[in-house]
Structures are given as C-alpha cells and as structure tokens.
Amino acid sequence: MDLQTLTSMNWGIMAPEFTVLGTALLLSLLDLFMPREKSRRILGILSAAGIVLALAFLFLQFSHEPASLFHDMYRLDSFSKAFKLILLLGTGLILVLAYDYKMDREEEYRGEFYYLLLTALLGGLIMASSADMITLFIGLELLSLSSYVMAGMRKRDKESNEASFKYVVTGGISTAITLFGMSYIFGLTGETNLYSIGNALRDMSILQNQFLIAFAFIITFAGLTFKIASAPFHMWAPDVYQGSPLPVTAFLSVVSKTAGFALILRFFLLVFNSAPGIKGDPLLFQVQPYLAFLAGATMIAGNLVALRQRNVKRLFAYSSIAQAGYILVPFVSVSAMLFETTWFYLLAYLFMNIGAFAVIQEVTAHSKTHDISGFAGLYRRSPWLAVAMTIFILSLAGIPATAGFIGKFGIFMNALGASQGHYVLAGILVGTTVISYFYYFNIIAQMFFRPEHQEGRLQHKKGLLLVTAVCAAATVILGILPGTALHFFYEQFQLTDFFQTMEQK
C-alpha cells in the first residue's frame, strides 16, 4: 500500500472518530502546558465541544451511503451509526456530570478525567464500527484501559483504588478469555475479517470441527460478558461501581455497556450466522438454551442481590446487572426485531440511567453519604428532583408511560415472537421485574414517605439540573410517543446492510 492509495481513501467517513481523537490529544497537550494552579474546567467545555462536533458529523453521515475502509476493518453502516449515536449522546451527558463533579483533593487531575473519557469513547466508537477481530479487540482494549484509570481517578481514596485494582484484574482475566476464544476462531478459519470468517464457517469441511466452533462461541461470549456486566463476569460491577467517581460509574453502566452490546451483536451475528451446530441445527439456535440460562441467571442474581443493598451506587450496580440480563433477551431469541428493540432499550436505558445518576450525584454530594437514607424526605427538600427521580425509577422498573416500559415491551415481543416462544425466559423477566419493584420503590418510599434528615432545600448545580431535565423529558416522551424514535430508526437505519460486505475498490 503506497502513499497514493492511502491518501485516495475516503477518510472522511471516520470524521466522528477523528474529532474525538483530536480533541483528546489537544486536551492532553493543553493539560500538560497549562499552569498547575489554573482550573481545568475549561477543558471540560472543550471536550463537550468536541463531542458536539462529532455528533454533528454523525448526523451529516446519516444520508451517507454505506462505506468501508480496509476491507471492512472500519464500516460506516446503519448499525454503526445507530450505536454511535447512543455512545456519543451518553458520553455528552456524562461529561456534564463530570463537569459538576466535586473532585476535592484530586482537583488537579480533573483534566485527565476529560480526555480519558474521550479515549474511552473512542474505543467504544471503534467497537461499534469495526468488523474485524483485530480492530474490534483494539477498540475493546482502548475502552477498558481508559476505564481502569478512570475508576481509580480518586487517587487518595481507598475505595477508588480498590475499584481500579479489581477492575484491572477481572478485566485482564476476561480479556484473556476473550482472546482465547478468538484464537480458536482464527485458528479454524485463518481469517480476522468477520465476513470472511462467516463465509469460512459456512464451508462444509468445517463440519468436522463443530465442537470447536461451539466451544469458541461459548468462550468468546463468556469473555465479552465482562463488558456488559452480565453472568458469568458480573461480579466486578458492585465494587467498581461503588468505588469509582460517580460520573465514571454512570459511564461504565451506560456507555461501556452499550459498546459491549454493539460488539456482541456485530461479532456473533456476523461470525456465527450460518455456522453449523453440533448435528444439524444452526449453532445460533443450539446455543440458545445456554445463553438463555446466562441471561436468566443475570436477571435473577442482579435483582435478588439488589434487594439487600443500602448503598445507592451498589444498588444501581446490581440494577445495571439485571438490566444487562433484560437486554440480552432479544439477542438470545434472535428474532426479526432484534436490532430495533435492543437499540430502543439501550436508548431508553441511556436516559433513565444517566438521569438517575445525575440525581444520585446531586443528592449524595449534599448528604455526604451513599446510604439510601440520604434520599429520605427528598420530596420536601427538592420536589422536582424527587419527581424526576421517580420518573427514572418507574422507567427502570418498566412502568407504562415511560421509555423503560416500551423497551421492555419490545423485549417481550422478541422473546415470545420467536419461532418457539421463550416462555420461561419471559417468565423470569417479569418475575424478576416484580422483585425489582421492592428496591426501586424503596427509593421512592424514602423520597416521599420518610421525614428528611437534613433541613433546608437543596442547592442545585445547573449542569446536573440540565441533565436531569433532558433525561426526564426524553424518558417520558419516549414512553408516550415511542413511535418517534422507532420511526427515526426505520427512516435512518436500513439494517439490511448489516450482513453485506463492502469490498474496497
């Protein structure tokens, strides 16, 4: 490949990624040369500008023809656009949380916070747009490594250190397992491109290795569950969520998880879409019982353990584990509505979860405790904040007139609409949802039924208030008029190009 082919390529399609990368580089340089005692908050505004620019590029790309670079190593298709939209929106909102986050003694590291957030986002963007094992893995690692550092952002805080350490160790193990699984896939096919692998697995000669293929599937999947915090690799979440600074917790539970789902959908559907299973049936159908078991176990574990939590961040860690179990259901049942329902749920999840974290940040900053009793009497101290939190919680619990309900409804349609309905899985889903009422409504009970511990009204931070308002409005609008988002999805994203390879001319 000479210089001419390199310059003749359509680099413009990577504009959002380049913007994020450029902003991150610029910020790190600025941080380096800025006087030590100068406030780093200006960097936060710059990074927000970078994300807005990247979003603008993404919107311009909506009408762009599907295109790719380096033999599908980087793809601009509907799938990547749809997921990048969620990733950018989520990170944008979380930046506002980070801007208003009190760093106390670690104030001097505020700059790092912003550009690590951007590099993590860059990793996520690549995970959403790549169709090659190598670049997918690089994106995954970029996201993970940035997150490890962010979890330990509060260097003088024991819990934050613990979080970072546990995250690195469990992350390392799961990465090893993922790579182990990928090495089998590469060994069987000799390809790293997902489309080529998919084709190679269609070959009849591969049939003698059907056990190895199934093995590779299970191992890779198990490794990747780390990113979405579902069983079997979910146990890191509570400790890491609890110890990390709050915006990082929000990032891990929303953006990082979305990127994980993008990777899982892209990887497994492309690689294994026509892979033979053991004796006859396609592999994707044969593994369904195992995946269903994992999804069910995730929902049960997340929701049951959440019942006993008093620490809000831990509680939301388990809630986020449970939500990962719900979002896995469409993937497990591989029905025709897989993409739109998963996308819609992730979008709804973005707003309700980030909104909830914004309220938590506001409340815990004031009450100086992460215990759930910090919410007591919130309705008296700040009625609108309590109402917003109620909307988020109702949505997380899947109550109608909120986005969460429509999302869950979509998941149900997947589970019950598949050729042989997954009634047991749907049963576990609703059963655990009812269990989740206990801990979700307990927060509501605290806010509305209990007397306040502290006097006086809450002083609000403007940024947090903005995030809360945006998320609450979006949660309600998506709940009452879900047609808007679905229509947008069908208009903008023709997912038929998902399975089409685009050879470089």
Partner 1 sequence: MNHMLSLLIFSPLVGIIALSFLSWKNERAIKLAGLFGTVLPLILVLIAAAGFHSSASGLQMTEQANWISYTLEGINGSMELKINYELGITGLSLVLLILTAVVAVLAALASWNMRNASKSYFIFFLILELGMLGVFASQNLFLFFIFFEITLIPMFFLIGRWGYADREKAAFSFLIYNGIGSAILLIVFVALFMKTGTMNYGELAKTLASPAGASAGSTFRLSVLVSLLIAFGIKLPIFPLHTWMLRVHVQAPPPIVMLHSGILLKIGAYGLFTFGMGFFPEEFKSLGVLIAILGVINLLYGAFLAIVQTDLKKVLAYSSVSHMGIVLIGLAAMNEAGVKGAIFQLVSHGLISALLFFLIGVLYERSGSSDIQDFGGLAAAMPVTAGVLLAGGLASLGLPGMSGFISEFLAFVGLFQTMPIIAAVGAVGIILTAVYILRAVLAVTFGPKKEAHSAFKDLTVLEKVPAFVLLALVLLIGVYPEILSKSLTTVLDTILLGLRG
Binding site for partner 1 (CB under 8 A): 336-337, 340, 394, 399-401, 405-406, 409-410, 412-413, 416-417, 421, 423, 426-427, 430-431, 433-434, 437-438, 441, 444-445, 448-449, 482-483, 486, 490, 495-496
Contact (CB, 8 A) for 124 and 66:
no
Nearer to partner 1, 277 or 431 (CB): 431
Nearer to partner 1, 172 or 400 (CB): 400
Least spacing, CB of residue 399 vs partner 1, in Å: 6
Of 316, 169, 303, 351, the C-alpha closest to 242 is 316
Count CB atoms within 10 A of the CB of residue 277.
17
Contact (CB, 8 A) for 96 and 464:
yes
Nearer to partner 1, 15 or 416 (CB): 416
Contact (CB, 8 A) for 301 and 231:
yes
Q: Say how far apart CA 392 and CA 351 lie, in whole Å.
A: 8
Least spacing, CB of residue 262 vs partner 1, in Å: 20
Least spacing, CB of residue 426 vs partner 1, in Å: 6
Token pair 């934050």 in the structure block, residue: 160
Least spacing, CB of residue 417 vs partner 1, in Å: 4
Angle, alpha carbons 468-115-356 (nearest 5°): 20
Least spacing, CB of residue 398 vs partner 1, in Å: 9
Count CB atoms within 10 A of the CB of residue 480.
14
Least spacing, CB of residue 265 vs partner 1, in Å: 16
Of 231, 253, 225, the C-alpha closest to 314 is 253
Least spacing, CB of residue 138 vs partner 1, in Å: 32
Least spacing, CB of residue 288 vs partner 1, in Å: 17
Least spacing, CB of residue 216 vs partner 1, in Å: 28
Nearer to partner 1, 234 or 422 (CB): 422
The half-sphere exposure of 360 on its side-chain side, counting CA atoms within 13 A, is 26
Nearer to partner 1, 67 or 413 (CB): 413
232 prior amide bond cis, ω within 30 = yes
Nearer to partner 1, 304 or 486 (CB): 486
Nearer to partner 1, 358 or 485 (CB): 485
Nearer to partner 1, 119 or 395 (CB): 395
Let me know if 103 is exposed, middle or buried by CB neighbors in 10 A (0-12, 13-18, 19+): middle
User: Is 276 strand, coil or helix?
Assistant: strand
* Parallel, antiparallel or unpaired: strands 67-69 and 74-76: antiparallel
Least spacing, CB of residue 15 vs partner 1, in Å: 29
Nearer to partner 1, 179 or 480 (CB): 480
Count CB atoms within 10 A of the CB of residue 12.
13
* Angle of helix 338-367 versus helix 312-333 axis, rounded to 10: 180
Nearer to partner 1, 57 or 489 (CB): 489
Nearer to partner 1, 163 or 399 (CB): 399
Least spacing, CB of residue 44 vs partner 1, in Å: 35
Token pair for 59? 């919107």
Least spacing, CB of residue 418 vs partner 1, in Å: 9
Rg for the chain, CA atoms, rounded:
22
Token pair for 195? 């489309």
Contact (CB, 8 A) for 396 and 404:
yes
**Cβ-Cβ contacts under 8 Å for 154 (sequence gap 6 or more):** 103, 106, 160, 245
Nearer to partner 1, 350 or 397 (CB): 397
* Angle of helix 110-129 versus helix 15-33 axis, rounded to 10: 160
Burial 43-73 (b: 16+ CB within 10 A, else e): bbebbbebbebbbebbeebeeeebebbebbb
Contact (CB, 8 A) for 243 and 159:
yes
